[in-house]
Amino acid sequence: MGYTITEKILLKHTKAKDIYPGQFINAKVDICLANDITAPLAIEEFGKLGVKKVFDKKKIVLVPDHFTPAKDMKSANQCKIMANFARQYEIKNYFEVGRMGIEHALLPEMGLVLPGDLIIGADSHTCTYGALGAFSTGVGSTDFAICMITGECWLKVPESMKIEFFGRLNKWVGGKDLILHTIGDIGVDGARYMAMEFYGETIENLPMDDRFSMCNMAIEAGAKSGIIAPDKITMRYIKAIRKGLRPGIGKFYSSAHDAKYAYTKEYDARKIEPLVSCPNLPSNVKRVRELKEVYIDQVVIGSCTNGRISDLQLAAKVLRGKKVNSRVRMIVIPATQGIYLEAVKEGLSKLFVEAGGVFSTPTCGPCLGGHMGILAEGETAISTTNRNFIGRMGHPGSRVYLSNPAVAAASAIKGRIAHPDEVM
């Protein structure tokens, strides 16, 4: 029996001779990361062990992205703890405000993630890097603390599930809709503990940014990781990174033809329309056409799911020459400084501002109800982010709908959930 891509990567990172689902391993990591929420707790734990140095100054990444630029004194203090630690232990990959980005958009852009890597992060959306053919998974602060010392993390080898998409994508449908469709079908625990492997002709033709959106939300189906076997599109992406912070192009793995899967799913992409995930679970998925009565107060375009340049380009395409509805606040947040600059160069920032929107510095901000657009009681938002749990973007009595950037932009114009075809 052959191995899945996930098993191959895990095997390469342990001393074990063989690998099988359910096995416990201590895996060597290529990169470990944390942010301004999870790092301070890890630094406290790290302190308890009285260790003088970290396992590798280049393999630790610290990004202040959640409550930054610091929203208040307490969050400023959390950031200070992280910045001081980075200085004291000479962490090479600490990205200060003004040079940072939302971690899961920033790391690939900086060339810190390569195909075949094993990456752990004290952030649940660490699964994003599966888009590059890496095994990556979210862990807690204590895991991160231990990893900074040992360079290892304990893992239970996951079962894999295979999700195949075939057929051409419909207009206005992207990676976000494919993953919402999947979560809507299998549920928020449908892939619990598993590695979700996306594959098929639709995926082979899917641009990198869409692949990031898909693997990013694997966690919303309960998965340990999402992964797409690296191919020509991956190669082009890796080669285009000008200031890669790591040498080489990584290692391209793929699943054996006789690899074993817990289960497989097949979806016809031609049947998938733009989708929206309704409150209060990502699995509560409906077609945009069913939701035209839902009036909104706020639109958020950004996040580690959909804050990349092609997401902003798509939103701009819908908004060009139009105005944000007078009852609506639209907040556009490029995911990294690099994307911000690119948006300025392409005139997208001007377009968003002229349409009556906010163009913000990179931050996770509103996605988790942190800052930069908190909802009041009774308010409703449509957002390109990844979660719509109770109180996710503010008051427990507010509501969040999740969509792709084109639907969010069309909704900003109409003041209610709208299909891009209605405004184009």
Partner 1 sequence: MTYKGKARKFGDNINTDEIIPARYLITTDPRELAAHCMEDADKDFAKKVKPGDIIVGGRNFGCGSSREHAPLAIKASAISLVIAESFARIFFRNSINIGLPIVESAGAAKRIRNKDNLRIDMERGIIRNLTRKESYRFEKYPPFMRKIIRAGGLINSIKKRLKLKA
Please give the residue ranges that form the binding site for partner 1 (CB under 8 A).
24, 37-38, 40-41, 44-45, 48-49, 51, 66-67, 72, 74-75, 78, 121-124, 126, 138-143, 145-146, 149-150, 154, 188-189, 192-193, 222, 224, 281, 368-370, 387, 389-392, 396
The residues that bridge with 135 in the sheet, in sequence order, are 118
Residue 277 C-beta: closest distance to partner 1, Å: 14
Sign for the CA dihedral angle at 274, 207, 180, 383 comes to negative
Q: What is the 8-class DSSP label of residue 50?
A: T
Nearer to partner 1, 191 or 269 (CB): 191
Residue 387 C-beta: closest distance to partner 1, Å: 6
- Could you give phi then psi for residue 219, rounded to 5 degrees? -60, -30
Alpha-carbon span 92 to 108, nearest angstrom:
16
Alpha-carbon span 367 to 382, nearest angstrom:
11
- At 367, list the tokens: 């996605």
Nearer to partner 1, 32 or 355 (CB): 32
Instruction: Provide CB contacts within 8 A for 247, sequence distance 6+.
Output: none
Residue 39 C-beta: closest distance to partner 1, Å: 10
Cβ neighbourhood burial of 251 (10 Å; 0-12, 13-18, 19+): middle
Nearer to partner 1, 168 or 192 (CB): 192
Alpha-carbon span 13 to 26, nearest angstrom:
8
Rg for the chain, CA atoms, rounded: 20
Angle CA 387–391–397, to nearest 5: 130
Strands (DSSP E) contained in 6-129 are 24-28, 31-35, 60-63, 93-94, 118-121
Residue 366 C-beta: closest distance to partner 1, Å: 10
DSSP H or E stretch at residue 330: strand 329-332
Nearer to partner 1, 14 or 150 (CB): 150
Residue 103 C-beta: closest distance to partner 1, Å: 12
Nearer to partner 1, 154 or 287 (CB): 154
3 state SS of 31: strand
Residue 422 C-beta: closest distance to partner 1, Å: 32
Residue 196 C-beta: closest distance to partner 1, Å: 13
Instruction: Provide CB contacts within 8 A for 108, sequence distance 6+.
Output: 128, 129, 131, 132, 212, 237, 241
Nearer to partner 1, 78 or 337 (CB): 78
Residue 224 C-beta: closest distance to partner 1, Å: 6
Nearer to partner 1, 166 or 389 (CB): 389
Nearer to partner 1, 261 or 389 (CB): 389
Nearer to partner 1, 34 or 131 (CB): 34
Residue 66 C-beta: closest distance to partner 1, Å: 8
